[in-house]
Structure 1
Amino acid sequence: MESCLSNNKTIGVWMSDKKSQKLNWKELINTCASHGYDLLKLDLERPLEEQGHIDVLLHKLTDIIAAADQGDSKASIIISGVEQYLSNHPNITVIDPLDNVRILLNRYCYYTILQDEPSFHKQGIFTPSFAEFTTNNIEMNIEVMRQRGVKFPVICKPTIAHGSKSAHDMIVVFNEKGLHVCKPPCVVQTFVNHNAVLHKVFLIGDRYHIRERPSLKNFYASEELEPIYYSTGEVCKADSQSTLSILDPHDKADITMTLNEDKIKTIIRVLRKRIGLLLAGFDVVIDNVTGGHAVIDINVYPSYDSFPNFFEHLLESIDELVNKKSHKVYSNGDCNGVYDDDCHKMNGLINVGLDPIKFGVTGMNIN
Structure 2
Amino acid sequence: MLPENRIACWMSDKKLCKFKWNEFKQYFEQYGYNVFLLDLNSNIESQGPFSVFLHKMTDFIALEKQGDFKSAAIMHTIENYLSNHPEIVIIDPFSSIRQLLSRYTAYSIINNSSLHKYGIFTPNFCEITSDDRDKMKQELEMAGVTFPFICKPMLGHGSKEAHRMAIIFNKNNIKDCKPPCVAQSFVNHNAVLYKIFIVGEKHHFVQRPSLKNFYADENQQTIFFESSDVSKAGAQSSLCILDSEEKMICPVLLDPSVLHKIACTLRKAFKMELLGADVVIDNNSGKYGIIDVNAFPGYDGFPHFIESLFECVHNKLKAKITHNGHISLDLKNNEHSM
Smaller-chain TM-score range? over 0.9
Aligned pair partner of 2:105 in 109, 112, 119: 109
Q: Show CA shifts across 1:190-237 (max 9, x none).
A: 000000000000000110001000000000000111111111111100
Does residue 312 of structure 2 align to residue 307 of structure 1?
no
Which amino acid is the alignment partner of residue 15 of structure 1? M
Gaps of 5+ in 1: 331-351, 353-367
Q: Is the 8 A contact 1:193 1:219 kept in 2?
A: yes
Q: CA deviation at 1:7?
A: 8.4
Matched residue, 1:337: none
Aligned-partner SS, 2:294: strand
Q: CA deviation at 1:329?
A: 7.4
Q: CA deviation at 1:244?
A: 0.5
Q: Is the 8 A contact 1:157 1:187 kept in 2?
A: yes
Aligned pair partner of 2:80 in 78, 84, 87: 84
Q: CA deviation at 1:178?
A: 1.2
**Greater shift after overlay, 137-146 or 41-50?**
41-50
Gaps of 5+ in 2: 326-337
Matched residue, 1:341: none
Q: TM-score, length-normalised on structure 2? A: 0.93
Aligned pair partner of 1:193 in 188, 195, 198: 188
Q: Is the 8 A contact 1:145 1:151 kept in 2?
A: yes
Does residue 89 of structure 2 align to residue 97 of structure 1?
no
Q: Distance in 2 between matches of 1:272 and 1:233?
A: 23
Does residue 209 of structure 2 align to residue 214 of structure 1?
yes
Q: CA deviation at 1:34?
A: 2.0
Does residue 48 of structure 2 align to residue 55 of structure 1?
no
Aligned pair partner of 1:288 in 283, 292, 314: 283
Q: CA deviation at 1:17?
A: 1.9
Does residue 221 of structure 2 align to residue 233 of structure 1?
no
Q: Distance in 2 between matches of 1:35 and 1:158?
A: 42
Aligned-partner SS, 1:122: helix
Alignment coverage as a number of residue pairs: 326
Q: CA deviation at 1:122?
A: 2.7
Aligned-partner SS, 1:143: helix
Q: Distance in 2 between matches of 1:186 and 1:260?
A: 32
Matched residue, 2:270: 275
Q: CA deviation at 1:265?
A: 2.2
Q: CA deviation at 1:8?
A: 7.0
Q: CA deviation at 1:6?
A: 7.1
Aligned pair partner of 2:257 in 249, 259, 262: 262
Matched residue, 2:133: 138
Q: TM-score, length-normalised on structure 1? A: 0.86
Which amino acid is the alignment partner of residue 192 of structure 2? V
Matched residue, 2:334: none
Aligned-partner SS, 1:267: helix
**Greater shift after overlay, 22-31 or 226-235?**
22-31
Structure 1 stretches (4+) deviating beyond 4 angstroms? 5-8
Answer 1 or 2: which has greater helix percent: 2
Aligned-partner SS, 1:112: helix
Q: Distance in 1 between matches of 2:283 and 2:33?
A: 47
Q: Is the 8 A contact 2:190 2:251 kept in 1?
A: no
Matched residue, 2:330: none
Does residue 35 of structure 2 align to residue 39 of structure 1?
yes
Q: Distance in 2 between matches of 1:8 and 1:89?
A: 13
Which amino acid is the alignment partner of residue 204 of structure 2? H
Distance 1:41 1:171, change over 3 A: same
Does residue 270 of structure 2 align to residue 253 of structure 1?
no
Aligned-partner SS, 1:40: strand
Aligned pair partner of 1:178 in 170, 173, 178: 173
The root-mean-square deviation of aligned C-alpha atoms, in Å, is 1.6
Matched residue, 1:362: none
Aligned pair partner of 2:60 in 60, 64, 76: 64
Q: Distance in 1 between matches of 2:137 and 2:13?
A: 42
**Greater shift after overlay, 167-176 or 193-202?**
167-176
Aligned-partner SS, 1:203: strand
Q: Distance in 2 between matches of 1:285 and 1:187?
A: 18
Which amino acid is the alignment partner of residue 84 of structure 1? N
Q: Show CA shifts across 1:49-77 (max 9, x none).
A: 12232111000001101111222111111
Aligned-partner SS, 2:272: coil
- Identical amino acids, percent of aligned pairs: 44
Q: Is the 8 A contact 1:35 1:315 kept in 2?
A: no
Matched residue, 2:14: 18
Q: Is the 8 A contact 1:8 1:38 kept in 2?
A: no
Matched residue, 1:73: 69
Which amino acid is the alignment partner of residue 231 of structure 1? E
Q: Show CA shifts across 1:326-347 (max 9, x none).
A: 00079xxxxxxxxxxxxxxxxx
Q: Distance in 2 between matches of 1:186 and 1:7?
A: 43
Does residue 120 of structure 2 align to residue 125 of structure 1?
yes
Aligned-partner SS, 2:54: strand
